[in-house]
């Protein structure tokens, strides 16, 4: 604004922010971090013994896969969209990487396998982002299409091998538990930094949040909503491809059931991490880190606490609904809109 | 004549975080009065009534309704006890019929053994609509068929019943045309005659002076004065009320004070033979440093012209051209330096659920981005400059837009394009629902923009504002231009109205 418009109006008195106001404002963050601390403390208590390191590394291994995928999913969720085909994609990608890896052999095999999968994931991202817009469909419909498509592909691929599960013929991770754990930690941290950069300091994050908060306003403010929707889905695609690779380093095998349930797991992880399902300005990248560890530690705690395996899903359901009720409910006395 | 008190408010305070919206307010409302509440945006008018009607709770203080302590749990609760309120924003349920909207939450009255007779619902709704003299709205039609104005009338019908004791009208009239206003005025006078109480919030001073029996003026969350009807009829009443509202003399400078309607020779924007929807073959040339105004009734097509100039309408033929390039989408429009202030401030112009700063910088992000990196310090500087320049009342740029009052929201909507330094700005009803202090400020901004050589399209439903601000005034009726006027001190509203209706 030009200088001359400033006049001598009284300066607004700034009043002090009380600790209570701070608490109210950050209630969601605090809840999700407290949740993580709680399950972590329980984990330490229940695993206090010779198996501590072993359990810790297994927690790290499963949480890493979720975290990698969730880091990409943050961009899609911040637009208020979702992708239900993640699980089936992970399954097919793992199988493909094994088949190609074994055929070509050696390091080139792994690289060719990964690149193939990456291209597929980017195509899927483009379908969810662009085709959905062209056909005038919500992205969840195209992602449902992809889910069924990949379910079929997974079955066909496994039928063609004639086996229930296939193994990778070479080692793709460091020997020993600790070097592998360290590698995973570094890998997830680097990826988090990259995702955080894109989410906080570039157009991608700013635009996806704006689209989630109000798509019309975003479009009228110069955001090419279709293009950024495609880019966000492609970012998720990249992370799904990487996540599939991380899963492969852990299992070195894949089968008909690989990856199943991952789409919902990732969604629950993000919610536990404090991500609003409707997207928008409250979206945050930390949810992709806090959520997966809370989720995996929680499952682990429940098992070690002696909750019957058959009941674990019920307990998870209860905890899930409790968190959603606590974080998503609105208390307006306004008449129905 | 002593009037019967119906509502008493004692020592009411309301804080929104660190902002103090109401400071120890004492006020009473009586039967048989239409009490106007006036004050600038953010002075606390809506806060008082929304607490009264159960939308939110006071931080401290007491309320008495019919001499009993009053603490409504929800708006529905308040309405059941006789306090109804019509809001500024749209509040109907999309996808339902008019009748379903009117009787939402009251279907029990029409059910027998759990089966609802929709026939009875529709009949009752139509009877109610007829009794309000709005028979052109059909109870069985889907609500979405009607425009904003008719939906507002449906809301009024829903709010007011025989049990209504206190009726709150919160800036509803800005959404209504003359006809709709007349219906509302008739209604509030009827309520008053039946010894009910009406609380009337408006920014339109003429309307307040015409319709209200009493007046309460607020400023910064405090009551600054009460006027009786006699005092409102005094010759200097308007001046006195404005002084109470603003706390200083407004002065004479309100609209542009010059009658220099010249502009620079360069063309800033050209609309060539636009044909789309009901609009046929519309052309306009806008120059740098020129303000072209559009006036007419709300359905005359002027809003659509504004949208088309910003690339938001699909054209059947014709083109929008800026600097030799054709504008086909709003993205192209923005990139070529066009800005658009939508009249639908809350749904199109602003991200309500987001920080002020993010709203301000959103169109400027491509300019702030260097090799993908957007420096938060640059963003903060840009938004802080705008907040200061526009004097947006807030604690910081991090505050969310939905916590701001109407005028301050509108300032954010303006500042998006000044931050981007757009050369052509299309303003659709930029001062709708904005109080005089902010209006005066915005007129100054617009006048300064002209001096800087910006080209402006000003679409407005207020004739006085158009006459006061524009170089060339285009009047439309039924999607056609009926007359053009040039800037002149002799131009009067009465000269123009005949071309509008």
Q: Which of A14, A25, A207, A222 to mutate to test the interface with B (most CBs of B within 10 A)?
A: A222
Instruction: Kindly list the residues from chain B whose CB atom is less than 8 angstroms away from the CB atom of residue A281.
Output: 351, 353-355, 358, 400
Q: Is residue B102 part of a domain?
A: no
CB < 8 Å from A in window 168-187 of B: none
Give the residue-averaged pLDDT of B396-420: 92
Question: Are A238 and A81 in contact, with CB atoms under 8 Å apart?
Answer: no
Residue A258 has pLDDT above 60, yes or no: yes
- CATH assignment at residue B54: 3.40.50.300
| Residue A100, domain extent | 63-319
| Residue B296, domain extent | 267-497
Burial of residue A160 (CB within 10 Å: 0-12, 13-18, 19+) is exposed
Give the residue-averaged pLDDT of A9-18: 46
d(CA B65, CA A133) in angstroms, rounded, equals 54
φ and ψ of B110, to 5 deg = -115, 10
Q: Is residue A329 part of a domain?
A: no
pLDDT band at A17 (very low <50, low <70, confident <90, very high): low
Instruction: Kindly list the residues from chain B whose CB atom is less than 8 angstroms away from the CB atom of residue A216.
Output: 347-348
* Closest residue on chain B to A23 (Cα): B17
Q: Are residues B279 and B206 in the same domain?
A: no
Task: Domain count for chain A, please give it.
Answer: 1
By DSSP bridging, strand B373-374 and strand B472-477 are unpaired
Between B248 and B474, whose confidence is greater?
B474
Q: Is residue A57 part of a domain?
A: no
What is the per-residue pLDDT across B437-453, written as a single tens digit (0 to 9) for each? Answer: 888 899 999 999 999 99
What is the per-residue pLDDT across A23-63, written as a single tens digit (0 to 9) for each? Answer: 776 777 788 888 899 999 999 988 888 888 888 999 999 99
What is the per-residue pLDDT across A108-159, written as a single tens digit (0 to 9) for each? Answer: 999 999 999 999 999 999 998 888 888 888 888 899 999 999 999 999 999 9
φ and ψ of B15, to 5 deg = -115, 135
Q: Is residue A265 part of a domain?
A: yes
Q: Are residues B77 and B220 in the same domain?
A: yes
What is the per-residue pLDDT across B56-106, written as a single tens digit (0 to 9) for each? Answer: 888 899 999 999 999 998 888 888 889 988 876 667 888 889 988 888 777
Q: Is residue B439 part of a domain?
A: yes
Q: Are residues B206 and B297 in the same domain?
A: no
Q: Is residue B379 part of a domain?
A: yes
Q: Do A280 and B354 touch (CB under 8 A)?
A: yes
Q: Is residue A27 part of a domain?
A: no
B347 → closest Cβ in A21, A202, A216: A216
Confidence (pLDDT) at B299:
78
Residue A1 has pLDDT above 50, yes or no: no
Q: Is residue A182 part of a domain?
A: yes
Polymer length in residues for chain A? 337
Residue A296 has pLDDT above 90, yes or no: yes
Q: Is residue A7 part of a domain?
A: no
Q: Is residue B135 part of a domain?
A: no
Work out whether the CA dihedral B251, B255, B261, B266 comes out positive or negative. Answer: positive
Average pLDDT of chain B? 89
Q: Are residues B228 and B271 in the same domain?
A: no
A220 → closest Cβ in B55, B348, B389: B348
Confidence (pLDDT) at B487:
93
Q: Do B104 and A224 touch (CB under 8 A)?
A: no
d(CA B303, CA B298) in angstroms, rounded, equals 8
Q: Are residues B347 and B480 in the same domain?
A: yes
Question: Are A139 and A129 in contact, with CB atoms under 8 Å apart?
Answer: yes
By DSSP bridging, strand B197-201 and strand B33-38 are parallel
Residue A77 has pLDDT above 60, yes or no: yes
Q: Do B363 and A17 touch (CB under 8 A)?
A: no
Q: Is residue B253 part of a domain?
A: no
Q: Is residue B279 part of a domain?
A: yes
Instruction: Kindly list the residues from chain A whose CB atom is less than 8 angstroms away from the CB atom of residue B77.
Output: 333
* Closest residue on chain B to A9 (Cα): B391
| CB neighbour list of residue B439: distance below 8 Å, 6 or more residues apart | B254, B431, B465
d(CA B409, CA B403) in angstroms, rounded, equals 9
Instruction: Kindly list the residues from chain A whose CB atom is less than 8 angstroms away from the CB atom of residue B104.
Output: 335-336
Confidence (pLDDT) at A9:
38
A210 and chain B: CB distance < 8 Å anywhere? yes
Q: Do A333 and B418 touch (CB under 8 A)?
A: no
Q: Which of A280, A165, A1, A195 is nearest to B353 (CA)?
A: A280
Q: Is residue A313 part of a domain?
A: yes
pLDDT band at A332 (very low <50, low <70, confident <90, very high): very low
* Closest residue on chain B to A22 (Cα): B17
Instruction: Give chain A's count of helices (H) and strands (E).
Output: 14, 2
A214 and chain B: CB distance < 8 Å anywhere? yes
Residue B29 has pLDDT above 90, yes or no: yes
Q: Which of B329, B353, B373, B446 to mutate to test the interface with A (most CBs of A within 10 A)?
A: B353
Q: Are residues B218 and B303 in the same domain?
A: no
Q: Are residues B324 and B395 in the same domain?
A: yes
Task: Domain count for chain B, please give it.
Answer: 2
Confidence (pLDDT) at B18:
65
Q: Which of B140, B115, B105 is nearest to B126 (CA)?
A: B140
* Closest residue on chain A to B18 (Cα): A15
Confidence (pLDDT) at B328:
94
What is the per-residue pLDDT across A171-181, written as a single tens digit (0 to 9) for each? Answer: 888 888 889 99
d(CA B384, CA B387) in angstroms, rounded, equals 5
Q: Which residues of A80-108 are buried (b: 16+ CB within 10 A; e: fewer)?
A: bbbbbbbbbbbbbbbbbbbbbbeeeeeee
d(CA B136, CA B15) in angstroms, rounded, equals 43
Residue A4 has pLDDT above 50, yes or no: no
Q: Are residues B64 and B167 in the same domain?
A: yes
Q: Are residues B231 and B312 in the same domain?
A: no
Q: Are residues B393 and B298 in the same domain?
A: yes
pLDDT band at A328 (very low <50, low <70, confident <90, very high): low
Q: Is residue A277 part of a domain?
A: yes
* ipTM rounded to 2 decimals: 0.86
d(CA B460, CA B297) in angstroms, rounded, equals 9
Q: Do A333 and B54 touch (CB under 8 A)?
A: yes
> In angstroms, what CA-CA distances link A126 with A88, A146, A150, A194, B393?
17, 12, 16, 21, 43
Q: Do B389 and A1 touch (CB under 8 A)?
A: yes
Between B182 and B105, whose confidence is greater?
B182
Structural tokens at position B429: 């009803």
């Amino acid at each position: 604004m030009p200088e001359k418009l400033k006049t001598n109006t009284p300066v607004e008195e700034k009043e002090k922010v009380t600790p209570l106001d701070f608490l109210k404002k950050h209630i969601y963050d605090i809840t999700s971090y407290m949740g993580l601390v709680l399950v972590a403390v329980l984990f330490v208590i229940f695993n206090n013994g010779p198996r501590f390191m072993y359990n810790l590394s297994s927690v790290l291994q499963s949480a890493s896969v979720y975290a990698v995928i969730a880091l990409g999913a943050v961009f899609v969720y911040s637009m208020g969209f979702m992708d239900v085909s993640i699980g089936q994609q992970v399954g097919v990608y793992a199988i493909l990487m094994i088949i190609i890896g074994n055929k070509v052999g050696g390091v080139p095999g792994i690289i060719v396998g990964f690149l193939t999968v990456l291209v597929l994931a980017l195509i899927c991202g483009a379908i969810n982002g662009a085709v959905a817009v062209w056909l005038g469909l919500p992205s969840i419909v195209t992602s449902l299409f992809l889910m069924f498509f990949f379910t079929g592909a997974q079955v066909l691929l496994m039928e063609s091998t004639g086996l229930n599960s296939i193994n990778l013929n070479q080692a793709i991770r460091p020997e020993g538990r600790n070097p592998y754990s360290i590698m995973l930690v570094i890998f997830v941290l680097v990826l988090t930094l990259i995702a955080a950069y894109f989410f906080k300091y570039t157009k991608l994050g700013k635009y996806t949040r704006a689209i989630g908060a109000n798509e019309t306003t975003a479009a009228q403010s110069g955001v090419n909503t279709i293009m950024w929707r495609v880019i966000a889905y492609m970012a998720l695609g990249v992370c799904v491809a990487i996540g599939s690779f991380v899963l492969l380093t852990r299992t070195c095998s894949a089968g008909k059931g690989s990856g199943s349930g991952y789409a919902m797991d990732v969604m629950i992880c993000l919610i536990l991490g404090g991500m609003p399902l409707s997207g928008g300005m409250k979206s945050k990248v930390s949810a992709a880190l806090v959520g997966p560890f809370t989720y995996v530690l929680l499952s682990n705690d429940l098992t070690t606490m002696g909750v019957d395996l058959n009941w674990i899903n019920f307990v998870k359901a209860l905890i899930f609904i409790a968190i959603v009720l606590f974080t998503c409910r609105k208390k307006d006395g306004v008449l129905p809109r | 004549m002593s009037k019967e008190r119906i509502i008493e408010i004692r020592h009411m305070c309301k804080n929104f975080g660190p902002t103090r919206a109401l400071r120890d307010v004492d006020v009473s409302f009586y039967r048989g009065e239409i009490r106007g509440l006036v004050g600038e945006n953010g002075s606390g008018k809506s806060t008082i009534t929304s607490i009264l009607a159960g939308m939110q709770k006071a931080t401290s203080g007491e309320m008495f309704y019919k001499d009993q302590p009053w603490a409504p749990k929800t708006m529905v609760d308040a309405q059941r006890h006789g306090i109804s309120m019509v809001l500024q924003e749209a509040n109907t349920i999309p996808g339902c019929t008019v009748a379903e909207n009117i009787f939402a939450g009251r279907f029990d009255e029409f059910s027998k053994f759990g089966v609802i007779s929709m026939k009875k619902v529709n009949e009752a709704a139509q009877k109610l609509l007829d009794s309000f003299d709005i028979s052109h709205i059909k109870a069985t039609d889907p609500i979405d068929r009607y425009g904003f104005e008719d939906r507002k009338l449906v809301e009024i019908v829903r709010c007011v019943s025989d049990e209504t004791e206190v009726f709150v009208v919160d800036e509803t009239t800005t959404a209504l045309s003359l006809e709709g206003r007349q219906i509302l005025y008739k209604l509030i006078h009827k309520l008053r005659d039946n010894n009910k109480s009406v609380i009337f919030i408006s920014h339109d001073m003429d309307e307040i002076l015409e319709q209200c029996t009493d007046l309460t003026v607020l400023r910064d969350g405090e009551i600054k004065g009460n006027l009786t009807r006699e005092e409102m009829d005094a010759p200097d009443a308007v001046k006195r009320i404005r002084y109470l509202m603003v706390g200083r003399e407004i002065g004479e400078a309100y609209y542009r004070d010059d009658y220099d309607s010249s502009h620079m020779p360069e063309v800033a924007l050209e609309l060539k033979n636009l044909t789309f929807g009901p609009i046929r073959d519309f052309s306009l040339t806008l120059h740098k440093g020129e303000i072209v105004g559009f006036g007419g009734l709300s359905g005359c097509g002027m809003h659509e012209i504004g949208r088309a100039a910003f690339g938001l309408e699909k054209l059947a033929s014709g083109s929008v051209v800026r600097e030799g390039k054709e504008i086909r989408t709003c993205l192209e429009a923005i990139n070529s330096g066009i800005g658009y202030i939508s009249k639908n401030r809350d749904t199109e112009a602003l991200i309500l659920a987001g920080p002020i700063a993010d709203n301000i910088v959103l169109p400027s992000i491509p300019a702030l981005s260097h090799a993908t990196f957007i420096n938060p310090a640059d963003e903060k500087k840009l938004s802080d400059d705008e907040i200061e320049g526009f004097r947006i009342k807030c604690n910081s740029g991090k505050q969310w837009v939905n916590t701001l009052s109407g005028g301050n929201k509108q300032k954010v909507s303006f500042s998006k394009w000044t931050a981007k330094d757009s050369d052509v700005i299309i303003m659709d009803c930029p001062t709708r629902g904005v109080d005089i202090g902010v209006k005066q400020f915005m007129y100054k901004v617009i006048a300064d923009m002209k001096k800087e050589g910006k080209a402006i399209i000003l679409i407005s439903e207020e004739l006085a504002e158009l006459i006061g601000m524009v170089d060339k005034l285009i009047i439309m009726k039924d999607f056609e231009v009926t007359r053009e006027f040039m800037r002149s001190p002799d131009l009067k509203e009465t000269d123009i109205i005949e071309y509008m209706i």
